[in-house]
Structure 1
Amino acid sequence: MRTTRTIRTPLLTAAACLAVTALSAAPASAVPAALSAAPASAVPAAPKFLSAGQWPASLTPWAAGPVQQGLPAEGSHCTAGTTPAAGTRHRDFRTELDTGARQTITVAPTTAQAEALAAKLRTALVSCLDRLKEQDPGLDGVSRYHGRVNAEEGAHVYSIDTSHPEAGSTDIGLHAVGRDGRTVTVLEWGQLGDLDGAPLKGFEKTTGTAVAKLH
């Protein structure tokens, strides 16, 4: 019989880090404050976030937290330190079970900067497992690239499957980076278990929806 430990592996630990904070903060304005004083015709439409029902189906319904300005205070271990706070908003999601998710959206000043940010985020995901193992030598895991999703300028999907043999715990995280023009979005989904039990195809569909929905 598999047992889980109280202190989870540092990977997304989306179920722990994301679900705990998903609905705790007050809603933020959909338009950055710097733009709020501008004439309505001059304010570009803010990129749209996923709704709760657009994540892969779970045993219990998804609940969506408010859209918040800036970077998340915790979680997102794989991409921490990569995304600028300026032009960034995020939204957390959770279920009643040990599953959580997050979408982060950044609008870069130029298309070239958005391309560079998307490339940095992809590199961060590729190197994430090695960095986690450096932090926790007892951690085992497998990192995989699952290919491109054709939506706008494209999106790329990854999985990071981790376990801690001494404790008998396993965690699976699905990640995606997508871009539409100057806008870059990152999706994170995580729960207890392994890749075989994760809704990979559903996550790929959610990724396509997220990128297409931005603008």
Structure 2
Amino acid sequence: MFISETYRKIASDGLWNNNIVFGQNLALCPLLAVTGTATNGLGMGLATLVVITASNGLISLTRHLIPGEIRIPIFVLLIAALVTLVDILMNAWAHELYKVLGLFIALIVTNCALLGRAEAFASKQPVKHALWDGLMMGAGFTLVLVALGAAREISASGTLFANASLLLGESFRFLEVTVIPDYKGFLLMALPPGGFIMLAFLIVGKRLIDQKLAQRKAQSILVNEAITE
């Protein structure tokens, strides 16, 4: 029971409560730069997910061997090695997506969220918990990237996951959808200011949902107390 509760809390933190973007306000540079389309957001999110999961696992596995005085440089070195590996693999197997994302793949190294999870969680937890934390944090970040990219793409061009088959492979062609036929487009949403505007809407939406959930929880507590009395 304790283990299941632990995994549930890690999942809720990574996906919602302590989400990299909504909860920690980190990784905003790649978030706003590559989310012109949902396809780009998905590609960047999956790359980050692989790196943060692998780095969490490696750091947890070697945490007793890393001297505390030099742990941060070692964490950065491990993360940089993993990012380099992902960068090479994407260049080889998803070259078109690699060209679109460009420098932002290498800049995953500077993503404070990865180093933050390494220091705050992976270096203090068992490997299973660290891997699960990395997976959930990466999945939460990917969901925000895809949501923001989808909102901007639909607003800008009326499509969803455009060029998915070209960037991610032929097996992703089923994702390509024309949401608004004969749409003239709204250029602002494809530009950086559009990213800021749409991100603000997403943050407001999350906070409204959190408020509703808090109100329902409070009402449920009052009802239970009234029944008990």
Structure number with greater Rg is 2
Q: Structure with the greater relative contact order (CA < 8 A, sep ≥ 6): 1 or 2?
A: 2
Relative to the length of structure 2, the TM-score reads: 0.28
Q: Report the structure, 1 or 2, having the larger helix content.
A: 2
